[in-house]
């Protein structure tokens, strides 16, 4: 069972942060799984909020994906410097 606590002076992780993350995850899941009928039943203001949240989620997903690609290329280049494929990788970049 989770209990809400405040952050201690030494900055230790607290349960309230975990609860906040869980709420955000639930909201994100709800937005992603919302049916077309549910969306159509929303007011225009609510639709705008949902659209903005979906754009934020998509932007975060794209940023994570781009970050993974950059890391992969960096690791590949570091590894490739000692092999004969390094010039090919440089040309591809």
| CB atoms closer than 10 angstroms to residue 26 | 10
Confidence of residue 70 (pLDDT cuts 50, 70, 90): confident
pLDDT per residue as tens digits for the range 21-50 = 899 889 889 988 999 999 999 999 999 999
Q: pTM here? A: 0.56
List the chain domain ranges. 34-92
Q: Are 75 and 89 in contact (CB under 8 A)?
A: no
């Amino acid at each position: 069972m989770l209990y809400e606590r405040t952050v201690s002076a030494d900055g230790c992780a607290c349960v309230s942060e975990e609860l906040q993350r869980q709420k955000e995850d639930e909201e994100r899941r709800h937005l992603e799984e919302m049916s077309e009928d549910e969306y159509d039943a929303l007011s225009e203001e609510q639709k705008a909020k949902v659209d903005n949240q979906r754009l934020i989620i998509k932007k975060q997903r794209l940023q994570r994906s781009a970050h993974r690609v950059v890391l992969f290329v960096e690791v590949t280049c570091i590894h490739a410097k000692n092999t004969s494929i390094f010039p090919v990788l440089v040309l591809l970049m």
